[in-house]
Structure 1
Amino acid sequence: MSTALRPSACPGLLRIVQALDGGICRIKLNGGSISAAQAEVVANAAERFAGGVIEATNRANLQIRGIGREHGALIDSLMASGLGPSSAAGDDVRNLMLSPGAGIDRQMLCDTRPLAEQILVTIQGDERFHDLSAKFAVQLHGGEGLAMLEHPHDLWLSATEGEGQTVFAFGLAGCPLDPPAGSVLLEHGHGLVVAVLDLFLEWARPDQTRMRHLLGECSLDRFLAALAERVPLMPASSRRHDVSPIALHIGAHPQRGAERVYVGAVPPLGRLDPAMLRSAAKLARERGDGSLRFTPWQSLLLPGVHADDARDVIQRLEGAGLRCSADDALAHLIACTGSTGCGKGLADTKGDARQLAALMQRNSHAPNVHLSGCPRSCAAAHIAPITLLAVSAGHYDLYFRDAAQPGFGALHARNLTIEAVAALLDARSRSPLDA
């Protein structure tokens, strides 16, 4: 396979991007899923060719960090296991996110995996789609309860019931929580995706790399009118999606299929070491369906576990260093690489997050908090309920999510230490005025 790649700051499997702690390789997983055997290949590659740091990303992919000089050998090992693209130019555009519960979720209206496979074959095999930005992304939601609905995408499709049948509602430059722009029959899902990508590539200027850039100058109505000439559109169906207050990606939860559950486990701050990943892969082979699924919460699932085995699986995962309880404060924190691995990071976000988790655990308070070393917000694709933005080593500005405010939300306090943050959040959780 030729590895002539266009310039980009985004890492891929074939493009190793340098950071302070070495090279980064991003492995894009089809539907977030990886076989136990493939997981062991990733663990071996991270151990042999890098610093042993494996990251779960907020797009349900994996990254290997700290890669040394043996780029070729690392890439070859991953490609040989089936983790790479079908063509070198196709790697950048494999940005298709499914719900972690695709095909197994008890609430799902349709299984999106066959459509996802069809889309991936099309965008990798058709050269015209290789001109898409490495950040241009599509989401498929089959109506699952276990789904990340807050991440913005250039195009999203969400299964819903409309006029006695299941259809895909869809939207542009947003997320499934937004009002849909229209809908299509399920059998027209692939045609819709192809038509949207074609129109975007035909209309967008080179500097308009994302759908939001194009719609900043081209009206949505005009785009939809042109789209209707290529694929049969239906009126936008009325529907409502709510973000579940239950942490469905943590612990054991029933799945489709008699007496089967999936078990969700959170690597601390999204990072696994090779031993941790091997342990999860071994459990998937012995107690699950032989696969692991990574999630947009930077966690992993073991599907297909017999309900009677769930307790033992959880104990063994926790013994390997993963977190399986929603009461664990560390399971609710996300943090970017921070100053130890990124030149733009102003603070050691990973270390500070561990300190904050210990303080919050002591206070029996575990809110969802995002620590970002700079305004780029690499660790979170959506706005977290609470964001700490680093201003210097060990000091952060505190924001609370507010739909009326841009960026991270409403600025609550400036230049706080981690101890001050923990005290403030604890006091806020005890306040009767805090809804």
Structure 2
Amino acid sequence: MNEPQSARPCFVTPRPSACPGLLRIVAARDGGICRIKLAGGVLSAAQAQAVATAAQTYAQGVIEVTNRANLQIRGIGAEHQALIGELLGAGLGPANPASDDVRNLMLSPSAGLDPQMLCDTRPLAAQILASLENLPHLHALSPKFAVSLDGGEGLAMLEHPHDLWLSALRLDGQVWLGFGLAGCPAHDAPLAAVPLEHGHALVIAVLELFLDLARPEQARMRHLLQDVPAAELLGQLQARLPVQWRQVSGWQRPTREAYRHLGIYPQVQDGLVAVGAAPALGRLDSCLLGAVAQLAEQLGDGSLHLTPWQSLLLPNVPASNAGSVLDALQGLGLTVSAEQPLARLMACTGSQGCAKGLADTKGDALALAAQLPADTALHLTGCQRSCAAAHVAPLTLLAVAPGHYDLYQRNAQHPGFGVLRARNLTIEAVGALLAADTRSTLHD
């Protein structure tokens, strides 16, 4: 068994990182970046208003929804401490500042609300986040080390790879948590499963095992797995758990219907629905965020749920108000349907805000939207880092120069973005190629 948490040493050497956080504003071409990590992707309307005010007062009013359901403010000027103070005053940071980097736990945006869920993951998530905040030895985790917790919801991101993923499943009529390392439930079978009530112990045991075995330069689980096979890690993990894990065979996580984060989504609660909409390419401004927050107060429950599709969900809306909320969101300029081309486009900050970006990806994406054929999903990235997409998109445009891109098609047998289909295309040439090839091999 592992030693008691209170007996573990509290002196840690944090792994170096250039990742922005709430307390660490990182410089970019367009100014500073502050990333606000939200518990479960949820913020109140009052907190949303505080973000909008801070972004307008201390930055250029640019706010982004990230692909891990967080918010970030871009273009921050010199008054870092004033901005941080306002965000902390709104309750948007951890009680323990040392934990800000490591609170990387992603839930479904419909956790606790989804009619397809096998369990409400929010109580377990609260336990995990409390441990990440209050156990000093866990603060040695990399700011990139991430955990996902999926309760079987129909609205869940299944493709993003995580260092540890957990997915609810039924065994003998009971809810268990299947889990895997350095992967995702969309593509990987669970290594094993534990009863739901032991989920917290499992997570802490995995994190502590990683920290005990990983060298300082091994920031992610995939790095450790290059030295220690998964079977060996599983054996060591069992010695730290208070319960016997169980092998799972033949289980495959049911997939979700694409673009269900947009429009009206049913809730398990009678008479209530959630309404989803996406800002263009994940980017809001202060006025837009403030208007959405006001709408949540007037016609919802006063909260916003961010999604890993870089969109917003207004939960607990009376079904009788759903149409009005959807119309209001569309009136604000948000995307509310997969039929709208911007729903199927992703783009990083690009050269307008990032020194590594080789093209104005957001501007080019907006230009391409008018030419995008139906049912075509596309990701534009300014460099190989692929910051806008945590998983490989069906089609990727990789910038090679201003206004010019290489086109890749996703292929499981090819690493990276997939198979190279065309080189050095202009945006106009991309649009023409996609229009001519709407039923060709350029689609999965």
TM-score normalised by length of structure 2 = 0.94
Equivalent residue in structure 1 for 2:23, among 14, 21, 42: 14
Q: Secondary structure at the match of 1:429?
A: coil
Instruction: Answer whether contact 2:112 2:119 (CA < 8 A) is retained.
Output: yes
Identical counterparts, % of pairs = 62
Gapped regions of structure 2 (runs ≥ 5): 1-12
Q: Which residue of 1 aligns with 2:76?
A: 67
Query: Cα distance, 1:163 vs. partner?
Result: 2.0
Give the whole-Å Cα distance in 1 for the aligned partners of 2:40 and 2:434.
36
Q: Which residue of 1 aligns with 2:209?
A: 199
Instruction: Answer whether contact 1:183 1:237 (CA < 8 A) is retained.
Output: no
Equivalent residue in structure 2 for 1:428, among 425, 428, 437: 437
Give the whole-Å Cα distance in 1 for the aligned partners of 2:249 and 2:51.
42
* Structure 1 range deviating more: 185-194 or 243-252: 243-252
Give the whole-Å Cα distance in 2 for the aligned partners of 1:220 and 1:404.
22
Could you list the per-position Cα deviations for residues 160-186 of structure 1 after superposition, in whole angstroms to 9, with x for gaps in the alignment? 111221100000010112111000000
Q: Which residue of 2 aligns with 1:216?
A: 226
Letter in 1 for 2:353: G
Give the whole-Å Cα distance in 2 for the aligned partners of 1:244 and 1:410.
26
Could you list the per-position Cα deviations for residues 71-105 of structure 1 after superposition, in whole angstroms to 9, with x for gaps in the alignment? 11110111011110121210000000001111111
* Structure 1 range deviating more: 57-66 or 83-92: 83-92
Change (3 A) 1:30 1:326: same
Map 1:54-203 onto structure 2 (within 5 A): 54-177=63-186, 178-203=188-213
Q: Secondary structure at the match of 2:351?
A: coil
Change (3 A) 1:433 1:198: closer
Q: Which residue of 2 aligns with 1:410?
A: 419
Change (3 A) 1:273 1:199: same
Could you list the per-position Cα deviations for residues 138-160 of structure 1 after superposition, in whole angstroms to 9, with x for gaps in the alignment? 00000001000000000011001
Change (3 A) 1:6 1:163: closer
Q: Secondary structure at the match of 2:371?
A: helix
Q: Secondary structure at the match of 2:143?
A: coil
Q: Which residue of 2 aligns with 1:351?
A: 363
Instruction: Answer whether contact 1:5 1:89 (CA < 8 A) is retained.
Output: no
1:387 aligns with 2:396: yes
Give the whole-Å Cα distance in 1 for the aligned partners of 2:162 and 2:201.
18
1:339 aligns with 2:351: yes
Instruction: Answer whether contact 2:346 2:378 (CA < 8 A) is retained.
Output: yes
1:291 aligns with 2:303: yes
The root-mean-square deviation of aligned C-alpha atoms, in Å, is 1.5
Letter in 1 for 2:231: D
Query: Cα distance, 1:264 vs. partner?
Result: 0.6
Equivalent residue in structure 2 for 1:257, among 244, 248, 269: 269
Q: Which residue of 2 aligns with 1:377?
A: 386
Map 1:29-40 onto structure 2 (within 5 A): 29-40=38-49
Q: How many residues get paired?
A: 429
Could you list the per-position Cα deviations for residues 372-403 of structure 1 after superposition, in whole angstroms to 9, with x for gaps in the alignment? 00000000100011110000011111111111
Give the whole-Å Cα distance in 2 for the aligned partners of 1:433 and 1:60.
29
Give the whole-Å Cα distance in 2 for the aligned partners of 1:290 and 1:167.
33
Instruction: Answer whether contact 2:278 2:334 (CA < 8 A) is retained.
Output: yes
Q: Which residue of 2 aligns with 1:397?
A: 406
* Structure 1 range deviating more: 227-236 or 153-162: 227-236
Letter in 2 for 1:342: C
Letter in 2 for 1:415: N
Q: Which residue of 2 aligns with 1:248?
A: 260
Q: Secondary structure at the match of 1:414?
A: strand
1:306 aligns with 2:306: no
Query: Cα distance, 1:7 vs. partner?
Result: 4.7
Letter in 1 for 2:184: C
Could you list the per-position Cα deviations for residues 310-352 of structure 1 after superposition, in whole angstroms to 9, with x for gaps in the alignment? 1111111111121112110012111000000000000000000
Letter in 1 for 2:208: D
Give the whole-Å Cα distance in 2 for the aligned partners of 1:402 and 1:308.
44
Query: Cα distance, 1:123 vs. partner?
Result: 1.1
Give the whole-Å Cα distance in 1 for the aligned partners of 2:376 and 2:172.
39
Give the whole-Å Cα distance in 2 for the aligned partners of 1:51 and 1:141.
35
Q: Secondary structure at the match of 1:263?
A: strand
Q: Which residue of 2 aligns with 1:273?
A: 285
1:50 aligns with 2:62: no
Letter in 1 for 2:46: A
Give the whole-Å Cα distance in 2 for the aligned partners of 1:162 and 1:425.
45
Q: Secondary structure at the match of 1:359?
A: coil
Query: Cα distance, 1:193 vs. partner?
Result: 0.3
Change (3 A) 1:300 1:132: same
